[in-house]
Amino acid sequence: MRWTRRRVQTIATWVVVVGWAVVGWAVFYAVALAHADPLPAPDTAVMWLVVPPLLWVLAVRLVLRHWWPGTGSHMSPMDLPGRVLAAAVAALPERRREWGRAMTAELAEVQGRSARWRFAISSARAALWLPPAGGWPVLTLMTAVVAVAAAGPAVGAAVPGLRVFAASFTGLLGAMVVLAVARSRRPRRCIWPPCWPVACGSPWHPHGGRAPAGSHPISARPPVSCSGSGSC
């Protein structure tokens, strides 16, 4: 399957929509059922189903549009395990990036579809929880994002007059998170998993710009030695 910008945008759109429909909807109803009496009207529910993901999808597609020409096209030859690992490696901070390249290089040698998947998923897990990038900071960020996503529905349920504002607030905040993470020069300390698709170009874009020639991790000549103290 050839990975084009359009295809990646479509997949990212579906990830956001399905993610919101499953997670956001569950959060909405959990909050609404806990706070609202009577239950919110169907039009409110539809608004919650449409407004936030619409804004998030717009943000994701916008980021992909700008990101693809510089970096996304480099990922086209990779298979799916390679992409998964590349996206996870993108979440590493600068000082740990060498370890991500090491995992990517090892994956190139792993043969067999299932072995490649196992290696990629296990390495991705390591990349996401590698200190100091992962651990409590990731948990804290994810908790904060979930709390913000729940705050909007809570406000909408508690103060019915603010339902439109609450839905727009949740949508805009999510869109701003996506854009901020994608635009940030040093966003990789901890990244919200739904932002991986838009941020996974970062291994080749330490400064947020377009990759210079030969800066692909596979074609680049890495430093010859890197020892001790994590200052690779």
Partner 1 sequence: MVLALAEQPTTWRYGYQLCQQLHLKPGSLYPILVRLADRGLLEASWETDVPAGRPPRHLYRLTGSGRALATELAATAGTRRSDLRERWQGA
Q: Does 122 sit near partner 1 (CB under 8 A)?
A: yes
Of positions 109, 161, 209, 214, contacts partner 1 by CB under 8 A:
109
Smallest separation, CB 72 to partner 1 (Å) = 19
Q: Does 204 sit near partner 1 (CB under 8 A)?
A: no
CA angle 154, 156, 160 (to 5 degrees): 130
Sign of CA dihedral 122, 127, 130, 133: negative
Q: Does 104 sit near partner 1 (CB under 8 A)?
A: yes
Smallest separation, CB 77 to partner 1 (Å) = 12
In the complex with partner 1, the residue whose CB is nearer, 114 or 225, is 225
Choices 14-22, 67-75, 92-100, 158-166 (CB under 8 A): range interacting with partner 1 = 92-100
Which pair of structure tokens corresponds to residue 74? 């480099």
Going from the C-alpha of 174 to that of each of 117, 151, 154, 168, 182, the distances in angstroms are: 30, 12, 16, 10, 12
Q: DSSP secondary structure string, 56-89?
A: HHHHHHHHHHHHTTTTGGGGTTS-HHHHHHHHHH
d(CA 222, CA 215): 10
Number of residues engaging partner 1 in binding (CB under 8 A) = 36
Smallest separation, CB 231 to partner 1 (Å) = 9
Cβ neighbours of residue 95 closer than 8 Å, sequence gap 6 or more: 230, 231, 232
Q: Does 226 sit near partner 1 (CB under 8 A)?
A: yes
List of residues contacting partner 1 (CB under 8 A): 96, 98-99, 101-106, 108-110, 118-119, 121-123, 125-127, 129-131, 217-218, 221-230, 232
